[in-house]
Structure formats: structure tokens, C-alpha cells
Structure 1
Amino acid sequence: MRSVEEHQQVIADLVQARPAVTVAPGDALGLVLATDIVAAASLPGFDNSAMDGFAVLATDIARASAEHPVTLPVADDIPAGRTDTRALEPGTAQRIMTGAPLPPGATTVVPVESTDADFAAPFVPGAARVQIRAASTEGQHIRRAGEDVAAGTTVLRAGQRLTPAALGLVAALGLAEVSVLPPPRVLVMSTGSELVAPGTPLRPGQIYESNAVMLAAAVRDAGADVIASATVGDDIGAFRAALQAHAGQADLIISTGGVSAGAYEVVKDALGGQVEFVKVSMQPGMPQGCGRVDGVPIVTLPGNPVSALVSFEVFLRPPLRAAMGLRPDRPRVTATLAEDLSSPPGKRQFRRGVLTVSAGQATVTSYGPPASHHLRWLASANCLLDIPVGVGTVAAGSQVDVWDLTGC
């Protein structure tokens, strides 16, 4: 048998990153930057007001107080977005809004709350006056040009995941596009003549198809794109036709079913010579395969649903995320086992479990039977217990490795 580590390396070598692409910032959320972003302009780009209030000379209001207010004529009104500000004359004020450009000559801004002004009233040029009831020091309530970002500064680094805040910065710098690592495009194929679409009445011997739905969701959860999610019966011609219909659009093909030792193993029969079918020393998920179809990597997973999803977690999620520059592995913790467990000889077992962390102490218990058709238990589990090869029994109280399925 091939070890888990050996098969992980084979799959990792198959799944390669796509070349960087440029996209609009609105389409880049969650993607990883391919190149550094250097600010071509400063932020703010000009001195502006941090408050609604009045731009004045600090020396003109140095002695202002509630008991002895200073009255100044209001010479102008500056809303945000105004581009034709005029210089402030000594002994005058200019009404100014938050974000509006500071007029040349002004040295401070007095908040409206420190005046008698009513900003709800219309501004009347030449007639307005304001009582200033508090002094304001030079530079107070002024946002200086470049105090957030100086032009020429590297603000975001290649390899950084684009968050909403990062994209806000990209937009504030006026960038219409960014260079990112694009998500792999994945074709998911589920095989089996017993499979029917949900909502269709079942006939004897039929089951509802779940693997394509489940694996397509797992692909998207990993951050990759699903180009199609197809279901085909145990027919070599139909399987090959489905591949040909979609494979040209895909960077990776994932199939489930048809890889065991039975008489109707359509994936094995259709891809013999192109795919290497192996046994991996693990439970669940022993029958595996991988190779290339017309140059496109394909990974063939077993058909039992628990085997398929655990195999995806072990072999496919890490290289898919690595291809996008994302953290590849689920968080790993060491937890105290709450019960006795047994593991099959010669196999690395991935057991469904429930992880509980309280007061910094992690405890884990297995959840449900180990058989690969018990999907209900995996649906409610939050972790996988990783029992190494050669460990037949694990006693309660032992420390075990756990994969946290709730983490990225």
C-alpha cells in the first residue's frame, strides 16, 4: 500500500497554481495578491478637516472661551468635494465640513459644537458671523496630506489575502484592478447507476446522489471554483462524454466512485492507462487514483460519502488552497481523548469526532461508527482524530492529534 504522506505528495505535484490575473477590486475579495501594491499617491491627498466646524487662524481665537467668545465674520462655505477654495484672511472664518479641503492660511478647525452656529440654517455669503467659545491649537482637527499613506509606500504585500479593509485601501488609492492568484477551476463528477437526483422518486435499489453536491461544496469552501457538477451512470461512453464536455474548462477533475475492485468500476475501466489506481493505507478512503486526462489532472476518490469527503480533506483541500496562496492545512491541535479507541492495523485512521475546548484545555471524543457510509455523523462532527499507522488502541486520557474542521 501507498502511505498517506506519499499519496499527498503525488496529489500536491498534480495540483498547480494558475498564472496571476488582474481583476477589479470588487471581484477580489478573499483572493491573494500576486504582486506588491505601492501607493502612487498620498492619503489623504490634501489637508482636510476632521470635523464639521470653522477653519480659522489659531492665533485669532487663542483667548476664546464660553465667558469671552470671539466673534468672526464667516467669509466662505467649504463643503466636501469643493475644488476652488480660497485663502483664509486673518480675522475671518470659513465654514467647513468633514473631509473638505482646508483653505490656504488656516491653521486649525473649531468644531461646530464649540460655536453658536446652526448648520441647519443656510449659509448667507457676507452676512454670516460665528461666535467661537473655545480656543483651538494649531493643527487641531486637521488631517494632514500623507498622514495615512505617503506616496511610494508599499501598503499591501504579495501573498496577502484581500480583506474588505484591504480592498477599501485599494479603492482609496484609485486602483481599478489588482493582480491576484486566481482560484482553480474544478470539475466534479459522481458516478454510479444507482444514483438519482434529489426530488426524483426512488425505485428499488436507487439512492439519492450526494457526493457531487458535497464535494462541490467542499471545493467552494476551500476557495476554488466549480465549473460543473455532473452525475453519470456506470457507462464508459457516458463517462468519457461528460469528461470531454467539461474537461477543457477545468484545471482539475475530481471523480467519486468506480475505483474499487468490483465488476462495474466505470472510472477504472474508462481511464485505465491514464490514471494510476492505488490503495492507500488509511481508513476511510483506501481506494484512490490520480493521473491526467488530456493533460488535465484528475483525482479519483472512492464512492462512499465519508470516504470521499475525508479523502478530499486529506489529499485535495491542502493543494487547492496552496495553489491560491492560502493557508493549506486545517488547524491542528493536541487534545485529550475522552474514551478508549481502537484502530485497524496497518492503517492511518481518520475518525470523526467532537472537539471541545474549555479553559484552554482541549478534549475530544469520537463521534459515530468508523464505517464509511455513516454520513450523518460526519455532518455533525467538528474534527477528525488522526490515529497513526501502527497504533491499535488508544486509551482514554491519551493525547491525540486532531484536525479542526471549523478552521480555515
Structure 2
Amino acid sequence: MLDIKWIRENPQALDAALAKRGNEPASSRLIELDEKRRQHIGKLQEAQERRNAASKEIGKAMGAKDQATADRLKAEVAEIKLFLQSAEEEERQLDRALTDALSVLPNIPLDSVPVGKDESDNVEVHRIGQLKNFAFEPKEHFEIGEQLGYMDFERAARLSGSRFTVLKSQLARLERALGQFMLDLHTQEHGYMEVSPPLLVNDEVLYGTGQLPKFAEDLFQTTEGRYLIPTAEVPLTNLVREEILDMRDLPLRMTALTACFRSEAGSAGRDTRGMLRQHQFMKVELVSITDADRSIEEHERMTSCAEEVLKRLDLSFRTVTLCTGDMGFGAQKTYDIEVWLPGQKSYREISSCSVCGDFQARRMNARYRPEGEKSTRFVHTLNGSGVAVGRALIAVVENYQNEDGSVTVPQALVPYMGGLTRIERAV
């Protein structure tokens, strides 16, 4: 959430930032809401001060046996109390109106973010790895998986509908191996603490990271009002909600391997074949909580940690800076890592690493106290995929496919596969 004080002082900067994201100006409407709220609070404070003063005057009048003055003052206090009752409710309504208006505003892009309308305006940072040459026409992952007999979309549809997959045997093990490999890399070499968070959260938690209220249609909600997490970013980031952290504990780095659930609203007709866009998928998430001075540096570090996963798997990828029109709601800046899929003959997103500044922290009321200072500041939050397990499986299957339909296991995963070096159809 953006700071209304900053908006009052920088209305043109807000509107210019919103224009970069393709949004309409909002400063005048927000300032008007805030001014109305501030004026009302002023009246409320004046009434409270007059009530307190009148109450003291009643005591003096009673001591002086001036009953007429005391009665007049009592009537005035009673009238003020009636006003305060309705005025306090109006204050809550004005607070809510301003909060609701602020809660749907996206974050302010950093100056280093390229201005653009959509993914075609994203800027490539670098490419890593050589594209593999095949002596045959490479297939897409779902063709390979179905021919192996280990990727079952038909039975998954009978169980749950479209956009679900049943993985079996060696592909099920490959999915597990990928998740374990990523967790070990991030915890043992990159300094992240492993966390096993709840998969069901309340609406306040989703509000904290920005999924609610704007993206409610993308979420799965239970009959009891809880939500299935769309990403482990949600519970991990909210672990510091309503807390004041010690500066010495920052940066706080966490990782989790969880199932994620998304309704994929608005994606009708996109990636309907295979595992690229699922309602349920596994992902290793990276979350950092840091101070204002180190968040940009932490963003570069997090992105390199995610890239290292693909380097260890010897997968070709490119990293791009998302433009203002393609960037997520809560991000100040985002790097997407796109892995090469030879079956599709294209790069596809496998990780998205974002720095959010204090945008989420304001919604969560998560703060830290700098050393030697009494006052507190909002923490800065970052999140990234380290990486999406399902898409990593797709990338391995397509890049390590063999002409006979088998799949070679990347060297980094062999220990996690019990020494298995090739995935083949059971005879």
C-alpha cells in the first residue's frame, strides 16, 4: 500500500507512475478523500476537547453552587456525546473509504524499470547456456510424458477437471527430486531458512501481500472463508506481520516447498495442453525481509540464487526485466527468468523475482527498528520462485529427451533419483 502522506506531497509523481503502468490518474481523488477525513478528524478532536473542558467546568460550577451553569454545561456535554457517537462511526467510514482506494493502487515502479505496455517491451538482461542441438525433432513435454506412461491428463480430468495432472512412477520421483534439490541448494548454499507453512490462510494474510481485494477471482476459497495459498510468498511474508524486528536480524531469508493453487482466471485458451498452466502445482519460494538500504542489493542476490538452480541443471535460460505494463501489482521491479523449451521452441517463465519496497509491509504493519534509533521503519519485502518445480520438470523432460522417448536425468539430480540416470517406460 502506498503512503498517503507521500501522495499528498507528490501528487504528480503518483499520477506519472500510474501512467507508466497504464492506469488512470488517482492523486486528486485520493487527496480529496484524505482531506475530507482530516477535516472530520479535526472536528472530532475539537468536540472531544470541548467535552473535556466542559466536564471540568461542571465540577467548578457545582463547587460554586451555580446549578444553572452546571445544568447548561451538562446539556452541552450530552449533546457533544451524541455527536461523537455518530462522528466516530463517520470517521471509520472515511478511513475505510481511503484505505479501500489505496488498497487497489499498484506499487510505484523504480526508475530502472523500462516503460512499456506488455511483455514485448521487456528488456533482456542476459542469456545463459547453449541451446541443445537435437538430431531429431524434439517433442513437447506432454507427448514425452504420455508416451512414457507417467503423465496422465485424462485420469486427472476425471478426478478434478481440466488443468490438473497425475504424475506417476519415475516422473513423480523426478518432481520430488527437483523440489528436494532446490531446497538443499537454497538452505545449504544460499543461506535461506526452510519453513513449512500452512496452505490455508485467512483474508488478512492475503490482503497483506496484495492478493486481496484486487485479485480475489484468482483464488480458491473454502466454505469456511479460508483461502488456498496461490504461492508460499503469502504465508512466508506474513510471518513478520504486526511485528517490530531487530535490525540485527535482517535480512531474514526463508524458503519453502509447497503446493500452490490458482484459479487461472482470465487464462482461458492459454496453455491448455500439458503442465504449463495448472490449478495446482509445486513451487520452491524464496522470501527476504530486509531494511530499506539493502533491498535492491537483495533483489540482485535473490535473482542469482534462482538462476543458480538452472545453471546446476544445465538448462539454457534468459533473464529479463519486466516493463511497467507487465509487472505485478505489488512489485517495484521484477526480473523474470525464462527457461528454453525445445519442444515449444521458445523461452517460458520459470521464475519471477520481485522487490516490493515497503508496499506489503504497510499492509502488514511489519516494521524494524534501526540500531540506535527509537523510531521504527517499515521493512522491505522481496519474493521469488526458486524455482517453479512443475516448469522445471517440463524443462528437464524437454531438454534431456532422447530419440527413443527416454529422458536422461541431469547429473545434479542423480543422487536424488537413487542413482537412476535415465527415465524409461516400464517394460
TM-score band, normalised by the shorter chain?
under 0.3
Q: Which has the larger radius of gyration?
A: 1
Instruction: Pick the structure with more helix per residue.
Output: 2
**TM score, norm. by length of structure 1:** 0.21
**TM score, norm. by length of structure 2:** 0.21
Instruction: Pick the structure with more strand per residue.
Output: 1
